[in-house]
Every structure is written in C-alpha cells, then in structure tokens.
Amino acid sequence: MSTGSVLEIKGIKNGLLVHLDPAREWKSFVEQLMARIEQQQSFFKGARVALEVGERTVRRQDLGALQKRLKEHGIDLWAVLSDSVTTVATARKLGLQTSLDDPEKRGKEVQAEAAPEVSPHAADLLREDDTPPIDPEEAGSGGVLVKRTLRSGRRVRSDGHVVVLGDVNPGAEIVAGGDVIVWGRLRGVVHAGASGDSSAFVCALDMTPMQLRIAGHIATSPAEKRREAKPEVARIRDDRIVVEVWNWGTQ
Amino acid sequence: MGARVITVTSGKGGVGKTTATANISVALAQLGKKVVAIDADIGLRNLDVILGLENRIVYDLVDVVEGRCKLRQAMIKHKAYPDLYLIPAAQTRDKTAVSPSDMVDITQQLRDEFDFILIDSPAGIERGFRNAVAPADDVLIVTNPEVSSVRDADRIIGLLEAEEKGPGKLVINRVKIGMVRRGEMLSMEDVVDILAIKLIGVVPDDESVLLSSNRGEPAAGDLNSKAGQAFRNIARRLSGEEVPFMSLDGSESFFQRFVRFFSGSVSGPG
C-alpha cells in the first residue's frame, strides 16, 4: 500500500486533478508526474489538468517550467489549487485558474449579470478568496454572481458588485468595490464600497450581518434577536450607516 | 461496490465524533450488518478505547499502510458483536503517515466483504480530515447545539462541497433536554437553519454515554439509554429505514414542532 507516491491523479468533472503531497519535494513530484505521463501517453494526451498543491509555495519558474513541459505532451494545465497566497498569486500571473469551477460556465454567469463591455474581465472579476487590490476605477463597472450559499471560511472579493443567490453564513466574508446584494440571509461579514465609495449599499432579504462595512464605516447588528425577516438596505446617510426596509420605488 | 463508506467528522474537537462512530458502528452490527470501524485519528487514537478493544491491539492502520502486516491482521473482531471489526489508529505516529490514497486503497479491499465502513475523522481540516474523507461515499457531520461547533460544521460542509463529497448529513449531539425545554439552548431549528443540510439524528446528552464510553461498552448496546436509542435510530436511517425522530423531553409539543419543522425542510421525517 505504501507506494511512496508523491502524487495522486483523479478524474473530475472538468478533466484531471493531480494532487501533490505537500510534504514532498517539488522536483521528485515533477519527475514522477512526467514518468506517469510517459507511461500512459494516450490517457494524458489532450487532457486538462488541475494541480492541487496544498500549502506549498511554488516558485514562478517552477510552475512555468511544469506548464511548458506539460504543453509539450499536449496537456493543458489550466488551474492550480493552493492554500498558499503566494502560490495562488503566482498561478494567476501565469494566467491559470485557482478554483475548480469551470471558467467558461462562470464567464457566462457574469456576462448575464454585468454590462457586455466587462466580459473580457469576467474571469478576473470572479476571483474568489484573495483577489488583487481593488481598483477604484473598476468599481461599479461589473459584478460577480455567486449562485450558492457562502459557508463559513468562504470569502468572495470583487472590484465591482457582488450578488449572492443564497445565504451568507457567519464566518463567510464578502468584499466588494461596489454594492452587495444578497438574495438570502446575510449573517457573515460584508464590506461594500471597499475602495472608498461611500455611495455603495448592501441589501439582503434578511439583514443580520456579523459586521457590515460601507467604505470606511463599520456597523454591527443589534444584539437582540429580531425575528420576522424583511428585505432591507444599508447605506450611508449623514456620515453613518443606516438600515432601512427595502422600498426601492419611493427612494 | 458493496460496502458504503461513511466518514464521521465535525471540524471542531470534542463534539462526540468518536463516540458517535463507536455507537453507530455497534448499532449497525446489532442490525446484522457487517461493519468495519476505522480510526483515522492517528496519534490520538480513541475509538479502540470506547469500543473496549484497546487491550487487543497488535497492529494498526499505519502498520497496514507501511506493509508491516496484512490488512486482516490489523482488524480486531469485537467479542460482543461478531459482525463488527475495528482497524485502530497508530498512537506513535502522526497524520502524515497515511495518505488519502492509502485510505481509498484500504476501503477498496474491504468493500466486497462488508456492508458499512465507518471512518472516525480527527478534528480539524488538515491532512487527517482529508485522509478520512477521501474514500467516503457519505459524510456524517457531528455538531453540538452551540455556536462554535455549528460554525466549524459549516466550514466542513463548505470543504466537502468543494471536494464534491458534500453536503453530508447532520447529527446533532449532546442536546441538553432541560435547557432545550427552557429555551436556553440553540434550538435544533437554529442549527438546521444555518447548516441547511439533511438531519439524520438528534442525540440527547446522556450520562450513560460517558459511563459506557469509560467502560468500553457503547451506549447503543444499552436498551435503557436514550442516547443509545438515538444512535440505533441513526443506524436504522443509514440502512434505509424511515424512523421518526424521538421525543427528547416526553412533551408532545416539542416533538411535534420538531417533526413539522423537519418535514417542511427535508423530504419526509428523515
């Protein structure tokens, strides 16, 4: 059973997922992977490969070299999954995805939501976890549509707006350059207008965020348990955050 | 095919994963199922103690993985429940001694012969958790009705969904009946409301669980134990039976509220 294997390959919805034992050396992993590919050329030919490296920090030249070698074998390295911020940033610099969601499908979701001219940025806007610093120029120009409940530990960042179809649970976090709309219960941490736009707003079907920030202002939900959920909007009025019942037509 | 691999996990430590694994394993064996319980908590093994098999360990999971013994040799047959086997964890090593693919290999070898393979996951979201979840067909998430364990359970469900193992089924453990009655405890509704996954069991806090764990005779074998009854119900639900949730405090109103709530959010009184 103990094969001494430093890698694991499994089939996933969109290609192959190669998992690398984070405790092992990068060089021996690359050697083993290439050996495996040599052995089973027909299996790997034309494959789309995602690489899971755990907490390992992968240097840019190492990743670039691997990408190139795989390409020589007709293999498309399209994503790198990592818990390391550095590795994720490196992967992005090389134009790789950093989550397993199908980029084509996600791109479409964004286009449906955002103005057509932002579609070239669609993939960029969809970056979850740690996206690059928010660019004020971009705020309000596009958005991210997240069609699932954000559970604890999940973080979504976008330069533009964020729309969530689902709940935002305690422990989840949204940081948006623009507005945040939650079609569900907002119970996590949310920051709208993160690049300083104090006209940004947050709205939710049930607004009980752990913490709500708009531009430089911070508010928390009142401690008493308020039932009867109703759609509400939070925005800045007279230099502080106010939360009002959703009544869009009259505002 | 054959066996269903069920991993018991929680994120937070101390919520009763190992107790749940032991009790559900015993309850499944009592139903005549062939069961293997695997302790994946390498370095902090406990499942053997709760099952009362500690003194019979010769080989463990790491010995199997590293080829020092055959899989058979590491399997300890329970004297009281001949259909129940335990593969104990190593006490002297750490989680990196086993890889997720080792766990898949081991369960593959056992699938033909057994009905259920239960894996007791360590706390946390690191390597040990990934080892335990890798071969899972189904995941049971154990939580207590208190905020921090629910938070961790939520994180675990998110991770399971990302690994396409999710969302799993929920066991709410250590429900203090008196506190629920007085409305002082996070209600079952609150817990299911946040986690939004299917509930498969509600286990009352019961001193008999602690006593029987210390004796190495899981409460599931004790017909007078309420917690034991709850674990037996979970086993029956895992075997495909429809079992109504039992009344925790004897008051009909609570029970009815309960059933009404869950039949509204899941299909049938899961």
CB contact under 8 A, B106 and A1: yes
**HSE, side-chain direction, 13 A CA sphere, residue B75:** 19
Q: What are the chain A neighbours of B96 within 8 Å (beta carbons)? A: 23
Label residue A59 by pLDDT band (50, 70, 90).
confident
Average pLDDT over residues A119-131: 44
**What is the pLDDT averaged over residues A53-62?**
81
Percent of chain B at pLDDT > 90 equals 73
Query: Is the predicted pLDDT of residue A109 greater than 80, yes or no?
Result: no
Residue B266: pLDDT over 80 = no
For this complex, say whether ipTM is above 0.90: no
* pLDDT, tens digit, 9 for 90 and up, residues B59-74: 999 999 999 999 999 9
**By C-alpha distance, which of B211, B216, B221 is closest to B52?**
B216
- A169 and B CB contact within 8 Å: yes
| DSSP category for residue A99 | S
Classify residue B146 by burial, with Cβ atoms within 10 Å: 0-12, 13-18, 19+: middle
Given a cut of 50, whether residue B251 has pLDDT beyond it is no
* Residue B54 burial by Cβ neighbours in a 10 Å radius (0-12, 13-18, 19+): middle
Q: Would you say residue B52 has pLDDT above 50?
A: yes
Closest CA to B190 of A243, A170, A173: A170
Q: Is the pLDDT of residue A130 over 50?
A: no
Closest alpha carbon within chain B to A149: B158
Distance from CA of A51 to the nearest CA of B (A): 14
Q: Does A167 touch chain B (CB under 8 A)?
A: yes
Q: Would the pLDDT of A122 be above 50? A: no
For residue B158, give the amino acid letter.
G
d(CA A61, CA B127): 27
pTM greater than 0.80 (yes/no) = no
Mean pLDDT of A210-239: 87
Over residues A151-177, the mean pLDDT reads 93
Q: Given an 8 Å threshold on Cβ–Cβ distance, is B102 in contact with A1?
A: yes
Query: Does the beta carbon of B72 lie under 8 angstroms from any beta carbon of chain A?
Result: no
Q: What would the pLDDT profile of B112-146 be if each residue is shown by its tens digit? A: 999 999 999 999 999 999 999 999 999 999 999 99
Task: Kindly report the nearest CA distance between residue B103 and chain A, in angstroms.
Answer: 9
Band of pLDDT at residue B189, cut at 50, 70 and 90: confident
The mean of the pLDDT values for chain B is: 89
A-chain CB neighbours of B190 within 8 Å are none
Residue of chain A whose alpha carbon sits nearest to that of B66: A2
Contact B159 A19 (CB under 8 A): no
What is the tens place of the pLDDT at every residue in A181-197? 999 999 999 999 999 99
Query: Of the given ranges (A33-37, B62-66, B86-90), which has the lowest mean pLDDT?
Result: A33-37
- Which residues of chain A have a CB within 8 Å of the CB of B159? 153
Here the tokens at position B146 are 């208190």
Q: What's the gap in Å between the CA of A33 and the closest CA on chain B?
A: 16
Residues of B in contact with A56 (CB under 8 A): none
